[in-house]
Amino acid sequence: MRNVLIVGATRGLGHSLAAQYAKKGMTVYATARYSIPQTPAHGIHWIANVDVAHEGAGRRITAQWQEETKIDVLIICAGYFAMETLEEPHWDKEVTMYKTCAIGPVFLVHHLLHAGLLKRNSRVILVGSESGSVTLRHESQGGGNYGGHGSKAALNMVGKLLSIDLKPKGIAVAIVHTGYLRKENKEGYFEPGSKGAVKPGEAATGLVEWIESFDMSKTGELWAPRGAGDINSAEVVLGPLDTLPVPLQLPW
């Protein structure tokens, strides 16, 4: 593995992934939705103004790709989640969630593939969430957040379909739940967040390790590299946590 492209890398998981891969000596390209960080980390090539919710995101990346070789690992971290209830759904926010999480990745992969940047043995990682799993959604968790959960469920299907289309080309695709991240506040401190939430660096470490063993045998599957520790319904739906393997393949 030599070239890594991380889409959505200005903060959180994406930023931690870019830093870890750069530290390993990889050639790292990272995208920012708007401007690049004011203090960019060493070894990271930034591509600004890449909004996955816009159809031309992939073309913008290809126009600034300076390597003569392919992308070895593509990780799409960009996402958007807005709270909703049945009493107060939000049309525009739902549309943005679907465009960012489920529609945009299709067009981005399309453009990278046809530009010759995704080739045999490339690996595509779509960062999703267990919240998109219909099987894991338990009534004790309640309803609501239709766009957030629905767009992640749509991403699961997108990942499966991409894996079918790309398998003959030797390109593996996975959808991953990296764990719920602790939130960073304005002072730079991480707030606890949900049960089992981890810092972005911890989630990134788990994903980087998992990608090392990811190959065509797991293409088209939904995985939790860190296991089910932060999945509230896991014990009810899948069984006692101490009996579940790590990493864990999740049900759709």
Residue type, 158: V
Where are the domains positioned within the chain? 3-249
Q: Does residue 247 have a cis peptide bond before it, meaning omega lies within 30 degrees of 0?
A: yes
pLDDT digits (tens, 9 = 90+) for 66-95: 877 899 999 999 999 999 999 999 999 999
Q: Which residues pair with 222 in a beta bridge?
A: 175
CATH number for the region 3-249 comes to 3.40.50.720
* Helix, strand or coil, per DSSP, at residue 124: strand
pLDDT digits (tens, 9 = 90+) for 105-116: 999 999 999 999
pLDDT digits (tens, 9 = 90+) for 171-213: 999 999 999 888 766 555 455 556 668 899 999 999 999 999 9
Mean pLDDT of the chain: 93
In the predicted structure, residue 50 carries a pLDDT above the cut 60? yes
Angle made by CA atoms 95, 97, 100, in degrees to the nearest 5: 105
